[in-house]
Amino acid sequence: MNSNLKNRIVIVSGPINSGKSLWAEKLLEGSNSVTYLATYVLNTNSLSWKNKIQKHKERRPKEWNLIESSDLISTLDLLDKDASLLIDSLGGIVSAYLNSITSEWNDISKTIVKALSNYSGLIVIVVEETGWGVSPSTEIGNVFRDRLCQLEKDIDEVSSDSWLVIHGRAINIFKNSIKV
């Protein structure tokens, strides 16, 4: 692990098939203890989805611990607080709470940000960028987009680094931007 990444939250965002997960994995190369939290639990017969998951599994180091769960809070309670954590992805966590009413979601998102902030190891979080194209035509699609965007902004406030990955290239947002 790059020693200057210890005890930090790093966001890796970008559109679908941009290389987000691959870049997140590269940030953790050489780490001694990594837990990979896969937040989208496979519950589909989609061959393309199964193939995508299989590619992710095959390229990860075999010694990395894998947990498949969208329950981030409970998962953090189980982990060695100094170990590195790769969360792939924030969208799976948001999806798990789509049926929550707004006030419940607000409490959940605050709890998530606090739990991430209190974790002492390196956390790399993959986030799907939404809202760059067509707005969802469904109410639930808009709820997902809005909650994901807000949670990403809230985590960004406590993060120490942020990367945008697009076309297989990673851009350090913290070093190459001005906060508005």
Q: Within a domain: residue 177?
A: no
Count of C-beta atoms within a 10 Å radius of residue 174: 14
State residue 4's pLDDT score.
Answer: 53
Burial of 107 (0-12, 13-18, 19+ CB in 10 A): exposed
Which of 79, 86, 68 lies closest to 28 in space, CA to CA? 86
Q: Within a domain: residue 53?
A: yes
State residue 3's pLDDT score.
Answer: 46
Q: Within a domain: residue 126?
A: yes
- What confidence tier does 170 reach under pLDDT thresholds 50, 70, 90? very high
Quote the number of domains for the chain. 1
Q: Within a domain: residue 110?
A: yes
State residue 32's pLDDT score.
Answer: 82
- What confidence tier does 143 reach under pLDDT thresholds 50, 70, 90? very high
The mean per-residue pLDDT over the stretch 155-179 comes to: 95
The one-letter code for the residue type at 86 is L
Q: Within a domain: residue 133?
A: yes
Joined together, the tokens standing for residue 67 give 């947990």
Instruction: Please give the model's pTM, rounded to 2 decimal places.
Output: 0.91
pLDDT digits (tens, 9 = 90+) for 34-62: 999 999 866 677 887 788 778 878 888 88
Q: Within a domain: residue 178?
A: no
- Give, rounded to a whole angstrom, the gap between the first and last alpha carbons of the chain: 32
Which string of DSSP letters, residue by residue, matches 142-156? HHHHHHHHHHHHHHH
State residue 97's pLDDT score.
Answer: 96
Q: Within a domain: residue 165?
A: yes
- What confidence tier does 114 reach under pLDDT thresholds 50, 70, 90? very high
State residue 43's pLDDT score.
Answer: 66
State residue 153's pLDDT score.
Answer: 96
Domain limits at 143? 3-172
- In angstroms, the CA 35 to CA 106 distance is 27
- In angstroms, the CA 76 to CA 78 distance is 5
Task: Evaluate whether 116 touches 123 at the Cβ level (below 8 Å).
Answer: yes
The CATH number of the domain holding residue 65 is: 3.40.50.300
pLDDT digits (tens, 9 = 90+) for 54-85: 887 888 888 999 999 999 999 999 998 889 99
Q: Within a domain: residue 162?
A: yes
